[in-house]
Amino acid sequence: MEPTVAMMIGKVIELRDKVDAKTRAYKDSIKQDETDIDLLENLLLAEINKLDGQSIKTACGTAFRATLTSFRVAGKIFATMPPDERRVHVFVGEEDVRASCAEYPGIVEELWWGKRLSGCRVELARATAPLLRELLTEAWRRRAPEAVRERLDG
C-alpha cells in the first residue's frame, strides 16, 4: 500500500515532535554548562581588566587586557571602549585633557595609565555629539601619519 498524503503529513508531524523533544532535552542538559561558562567568562574578564598592561600566560595562549574595543588609525590606537560601552577612553594631549575636564566636569575625567596621564574618559550617556567629535578628531589627528592628516585637511 502506497502512503497517502495524510499519512506522510502525520509522519512529518511525528518526526518534528520527536526532534523538538530531543532539542528541548539537549538544551536543558547544557543549561548549567552555559551558566558556568558565563560566570567564568565574567570572572576572567574582571581579572584580565585588572592586568593594568600586564599579561597572563597559559597553556592556551596569552591573555592581555584586550577586552576593550579599540579605534585605530595606521595601526595606532586613538580611543578605546570598555565592554560595557558606557564610556570611551580618548587619547588626547594633556592640555586637551585638562581643558575638557574643566569645561565638562562629571562628563570628562582624567585617564591615567600607571603614573602617566594618557587621555580622558568620557561618559557617553552625558556627552554631546560635538564634544565627542572634537575629542575623537583631536585624538585621531595625534596618531594619524602626516600624509593621512594632509588628505583630510585637503
Q: What share of the chain is helix, strand, coil (3-state, %, to 5)?
A: 50, 25, 25
pLDDT tier at 100, thresholds 50, 70, 90: very high
Contact 74, 94 (CB under 8 A): no
Contact 56, 48 (CB under 8 A): yes
Asked if the 69-153 domain carries CATH number 3.30.70, the reply is no
Helix (H, G, I), strand (E, B) or coil at 106: coil
What are the residue boundaries of the structural domains of the chain, listed by start?
A: 5-63, 69-153
Query: Which residue did the predictor score with more confidence, 28 or 135?
Result: 135
pLDDT of residue 43: 72
Distance CA 34, CA 110 (A): 38
- Cell 581588566 -> residue: 49
pTM for this model (two decimals): 0.57
pLDDT tens-digit readout, 66-96: 567 888 888 888 998 888 789 999 999 999 9
pLDDT tens-digit readout, 23-73: 999 988 988 887 777 677 667 666 666 665 556 666 655 555 556 788 888
Q: Residue 2 — left, alpha, or beta (φ > 0 → left; ψ -120 to 50 → alpha)?
A: beta
Sign of CA dihedral 132, 76, 82, 51: negative
